[in-house]
Structure 1
Amino acid sequence: MKHALAPFAAALALASAAPVAAAPATLADVSRSLAATTSMTASFTQTGADGRSLTGKMALARPGKVRFEYDTAKILLVGDGRLLSFVDYSVRQVSQWPVKSTPLGILLSAEPDLSGVATIIGGSDEMVIVEARDPKRPEFGTLAIRFTREAGAPGGLALSGWTARDAQGGSSEIRLTEVRYNADLKKADWSFRDPRRTPSRAG
Structure 2
Amino acid sequence: MGKILGIGLWVCIVTLGAVYGSIYLATAPAGPSEEDAKKAALELIRGEPITIPVIGGGDVTGYFLTRISFMMDKEKVKGQTLPTTELMTDQLFTLLVGNKMVDIGNVSSFDVNDFREKIKTEMNARLGEGMVDQVLIEQLDYVSKEAARKSADGGSRPMETTTVVEGEKLDEQPASSGH
Normalising TM by the smaller chain, what interval? under 0.3
- Based on CA coordinates, which of the two structures has the bigger radius of gyration? 2
The alignment's TM-score, normalised by the length of structure 1, stands at: 0.24
- Say which structure is richer in strand: 1
- Say which structure is richer in helix: 2
